[in-house]
Amino acid sequence: MTELFTAETIDQAADRLQNGELIAFPTETVFGLGAVAENEAAVAKVFQVKGRPSDNPLIVHIGQAEDIFNYAIPNEESEALIKKLSNAFWPGPLTMVIPITEGTFPKNVTGGLNSVGIRFPDNEDTQALIRAVGKPLVGPSANLSGKPSPTTVDHVFHDFSGKIAGILASQPSRIGVESTVLDVTNPNQVQILRPGYITEEMLKAAIPDLSVSTVSLTDLESADRPKSPGMKYRHYSPRQEVIAVAPNQLTDYVLTHKEHKQLGVMAPKNYLQAMGSGIASYEIEDSVEDAMHNLYAGLRYFDDQEAIDEIVVIIYPDIEGNKAYRNRLTKAASQVIE
């Protein structure tokens, strides 16, 4: 049985984690599948229930910012940078990849890399859970590998009911896409390995002398040189094909295809109205924030409907603030029309 825990029963959830069981927890980005990071067998269970490839490392979640220094011995320069970044963005949707201190976590956490990704998530109940356990938790997104990430308790139940010990209940995730993964192993040139809510612009605004670049997706996905191993896998995909379409072509696309296929369309109201009847719809507001907040919920909504043949989702132009949304949507999509 998969139990639901609340703020009042955090100690019980912490006991289950200490016993090597798995508890999913809410964060501001997406829900994570928690296990004690020092417990190799519990971490192995996380890979097994998700069906996750073993070379894809996990993010370690800490209950207070200073704890990052328990797992890495930084030099003076990187220590100063990590402190600046954590002051500016933690708790929050930023994962810092740092050189790992030998012997801190079992090899299956890092997939054998000599670095580890660490994040202090912005959810008070989850912070309290980690502190009650007294040890950091691994937390990959709490979805079956390859499927859209979970942003609600229901999504986690859908994928893992009966397969994990419990879920710490909460409101839906505020942001809706995973954290920005930032490699800070070289403090003179930090690199975004996975785009997220925190953009290059936001990093530079907080730390003006920061030298930051974004690793190109082709580089990230190359099988021989994967900097962030997770980026090379197919992700976020429902059963059906997903077609991402730019705003100015969206209505035409739907009108020409709706006679032949049962479409599920995720778009703002004015677009849906122009498309008339004969489509299933998931309405969002006309902003990238709302599209991001709803992307996984929308994909899952259509995934559960047998009758839907194809999912059509609005894609926004390639500008800085849209990068995380475009990254997740284009990885889910088999075709991008813009």
Task: Check whether 16 is labelled as a binding-site residue.
Answer: no
Strands (E), the chain: 3-5, 23-25, 32-36, 59-61, 94-99, 115-119, 137-138, 166-168, 180-183, 190-194, 212-214, 241-245, 263-268, 280-284, 310-314, 335-337
244 binds ligand TXA (CB under 6 A): no
Task: Check whether 61 is labelled as a binding-site residue.
Answer: yes
26 binds ligand TXA (CB under 6 A): no
217 binds ligand TXA (CB under 6 A): no
Q: Total residues at the site for ligand TXA (CB under 6 A)?
A: 30
Task: Check whether 149 is labelled as a binding-site residue.
Answer: yes
Which residues in the 143-182 window bind ligand TXA by CB under 6 A? 178-179, 181
228 binds ligand TXA (CB under 6 A): yes
Which residues in the 76-95 window bind ligand TXA by CB under 6 A? 93, 95
Task: Check whether 179 is labelled as a binding-site residue.
Answer: yes
Closest-CA residue to 236 (of 20, 41, 30): 30
Q: How far apart are CA 297 and CA 217, in angstroms?
A: 25
The CA-based angle 176-162-130, given to 5 degrees, is 55
Contact 21, 39 (CB under 8 A): no
Binding site for Mg ion (CB under 5 A): 141
97 binds ligand TXA (CB under 6 A): yes
329 binds ligand TXA (CB under 6 A): no
Q: How far apart are CA 121 and CA 132, in angstroms?
A: 15
Angle between helices 288-303 and 323-332 (to 10 degrees): 20
Task: Check whether 225 is labelled as a binding-site residue.
Answer: no
199 binds ligand TXA (CB under 6 A): no
Contact 324, 197 (CB under 8 A): yes
Would you call 55 helix, strand, or coil by DSSP?
Answer: coil
Residue 58 contacts which entry, ligand TXA, Mg ion, none (Cβ below 5-8 A, type-dependent):
ligand TXA
Q: Which stretch binds ligand TXA (CB under 6 A): 29-37, 151-159, 302-310, 326-334?
A: 29-37
Q: Is the dihedral of CA 242, 245, 251, 256 positive or negative?
A: negative
Say how many C-beta atoms besides its own lie within 10 A of residue 17's C-beta: 25
Least separation in angstroms between CB 208 and ligand TXA: 26
Task: Check whether 155 is labelled as a binding-site residue.
Answer: no
x-or-dash string of contact with ligand TXA, 51-70, rule CB under 6 A: -----xxxx-----------
Least separation in angstroms between CB 183 and ligand TXA: 7
Binding residues for L-threonine: 29, 61, 119, 179
Using CB under 6 A, list all residues that contact ligand TXA: 27, 29-30, 32, 56-59, 93, 95, 97, 110, 113, 115-117, 119, 121, 139-141, 178-179, 181, 193-194, 228-231
